[in-house]
Amino acid sequence: MLDPMRHATPEEAEQAFYRAFERRDLEAMMRVWAEAAHVVCIHPMGERLTGVEAVRRGWAEIFAGGVELAFRLEAVHRVHGPNLAVHVVREVIHVAGEPRPRPPVEATNVYQLERDGWRMILHHASPVGRPRPREARPPLH
């Protein structure tokens, strides 16, 4: 029988990911991720975190801040294969007590089908729409 904590679709895994993020629930967050050496998490402007232990430490650090966040996803873009699903989402992040959302974050979320359902294997998030630093126009990249 499928573990009811597992996710039948990439969309279910994505919902669980953002719910765990909003609740700052580290165990729920890590149930979304594959328990694998090949998972990768890149927080905005952060170093790449590779492997489940590094990914867990990254979330523990963020959740330790105790800041209440609410996510709205916009412009959800999906490409699905038989065992990999690639989503690009625009995260609009509301911080409790702030009148306006933060500047948006673009996130690439990749899910992999495992025996027990879809798990996250990649979260690459980066700020967008701010002036590019250090470089004159036109940009190099």
Residue 35's nearest CA partner among 6, 64, 10 is 6
Contact 29, 21 (CB under 8 A): yes
Task: Please report which residue ranges of the chain form alpha helices under DSSP H.
Answer: 10-23, 26-32, 52-64
Does position 105 bind a second copy by CB under 8 A? yes
Give 31 or 41: the residue with its C-beta nearer to a second copy: 41
Q: How far is the CB of 12 from a second copy (least distance, A)?
A: 19
Show the site string, 106-135: x = touches a second copy by CB under 8 A, - = not.
x-x-x-x--------xx-xxxxxxxxxx--
| Block residue for tokens 């890590």 | 30
Q: How far is the CB of 22 from a second copy (least distance, A)?
A: 11
- Going from the C-alpha of 122 to that of each of 9, 59, 64, 127, the distances in angstroms are 16, 14, 22, 17
Dist. CA 45–CA 8, nearest whole Å: 32
Q: How far is the CB of 136 from a second copy (least distance, A)?
A: 9
Does position 13 bind a second copy by CB under 8 A? no
Binding segment for a second copy (CB under 8 A), chosen from 5-13, 25-33, 71-79, is 71-79
Interface with a second copy: number of residues (CB under 8 A): 53
